[in-house]
Amino acid sequence: MTWDELDDDEFRSIVRADIEEHYPSELRYSPRKFLEWSEQQVWIDHLIERGWLAPGWPTAHGGMGLSPHKQIIFAEEHERWGAAQYREHGVIQVGPVIMSFGTPEQQQTWLPPILTGEHHWAQGYSEPEAGSDLASLRTRARREDDEYVLDGQKIWTTLAHVATHIYVLARTDPDVKPQRGISFLLVDITSPGITVRRIKDISQSSELCEVFFDGVRVPVEHRIGDENHGWTIAKSLLGHERLTAGSPFASEYGLEVLSEVARANGVEDDPVFRDRRDALALDTKHLRDAYARYKDMVARGEPIGPDVSMLKILATETFAAIADLTIETAGDEGGLAGEGLDAFYRARPAMIYAGSNEIQRNIIATAVLGLPRA
């Protein structure tokens, strides 16, 4: 019997029991969005042993072969338990891209090292002048015979300092419309000409990096898909990224932390506090209803449209409001390290990554409501 043949409740109970038994308790609800592979090696080894590292990959490529619906259940159980996001970009992004757009030879070359942990991937998308407006990127890949010469810079690149490879969106034709002149390249991050510089954030973490490319040579055979058609690949990833960013679990956990802080500070029954908390609880219920709608679309195999931007906005701004009230409720202790401050640190970048909320509003205005561009 395959995993997909199991009843949803039975599958969820199996996943839940495994996570609760084997996930290291000290890693639960990390204030950092991502942990390095080495920091959770015991858990990763367990997943590899069980064959659970790539739940969405077909069994033919070494994955669990889960349907979209069961992938969501699998992810929900990890998030419910406060498990860190272990499924790095190789598993959740570049692997599926290679399966969908790569040649059989590319699949045989690039997929197995992801499952064994030999390759760790970083995402080379955002640039100093091209973050949420990704199509304006300026990193250039100039063709020279059977190689590209790569020049430019990427920024906010998660865990690039521990990555072995990076997939890069680069401009291969500067003379056409921005979206039509971009290619998708696979790059060994140890190649000559690559410099990785870590960025320390307000919480003193350094999981984000700058990556500089200076005359980096990339074999043409490391391009996925046709030349100048990388934007199609990039778009295939962004919709599902915004679904993930729209999950209600962070807000639901945030409400639990808020209640604990309120009890500790003796304001749980204060009528003003209760009104504010209940309003946020109602927003969170609305978020779960909206998330369920898009989750059902994925389960039915339907494409996610640009209106999913609404979900990302609702999720991140609800979580931010909960974090703000938590710190306010904590009073003098609100600025000290702890779950309230951790939530604050997690909430701020959430409104920027996967496309800033300002960009999401522009998408809704133009692509959903049909309003003219300013």
308-330 and 339-350 helices, crossing angle to 10°: 150
Main-chain phi, psi angles of 168, to 5 degrees: -125, 130
Main-chain phi, psi angles of 313, to 5 degrees: -65, -50
Which ranges of the chain does DSSP label H, i.e. alpha helix? 8-22, 41-50, 68-80, 89, 95-101, 104-110, 112-116, 230-245, 249-264, 271-299, 308-330, 339-350, 357-363
Query: In whole angstroms, what is the distance from residue 293 CA to residue 311 CA?
Result: 10
- For residue 319, the model assigns a pLDDT of 95
Query: In whole angstroms, what is the distance from residue 308 CA to residue 200 CA?
Result: 31
Find the CATH number of the domain harbouring 272. Answer: 1.20.140.10
Task: Flag whether the pTM goes above 0.85.
Answer: no
Q: Domain for residue 336, yes or no?
A: yes
Find the CATH number of the domain harbouring 181. Answer: 2.40.110.10
Residues 134, 82 within the same domain:
no
Residues 132, 225 within the same domain:
yes
Count the domains in the chain.
Answer: 3
Q: Domain for residue 110, yes or no?
A: no
- For residue 30, the model assigns a pLDDT of 76
Neighbours of 231 (CB within 10 A): 21
Q: Which of 229, 258, 285 is the last residue of a domain?
A: 229
User: Where in the sequence numbering do the catalytic residues fall?
Assistant: 241
Q: Domain for residue 93, yes or no?
A: no
Query: In whole angstroms, what is the distance from residue 285 CA to residue 263 CA?
Result: 22
Residues 7, 73 within the same domain:
yes
- What single letter denotes the amino acid at residue 155? I
Q: Which domain holds residue 314?
A: 246-368
Q: Domain for residue 72, yes or no?
A: yes
Q: Domain for residue 188, yes or no?
A: yes
Residues 254, 201 within the same domain:
no
Provide block-wise average pLDDT over 10 residues at a time, the chain (374 residues): 89 96 89 77 90 92 90 88 78 91 96 92 88 80 97 93 95 88 96 96 81 98 95 74 77 91 92 96 95 82 84 94 93 71 79 83 91 82
The helix/strand/coil state of 248 is coil
* Residues 6 or more apart whose Cβ sits within 8 Å of residue 64: 3, 51, 52, 54, 55, 56, 57, 74
Query: In whole angstroms, what is the distance from residue 101 CA to residue 32 CA?
Result: 32
Residues 64, 173 within the same domain:
no
Residues 163, 49 within the same domain:
no
Residues 225, 293 within the same domain:
no
Residues 250, 352 within the same domain:
yes
Q: Which of 229, 255, 280 is the last residue of a domain?
A: 229
- What single letter denotes the amino acid at residue 196? V
Whose structure tokens read 């040649």?
103
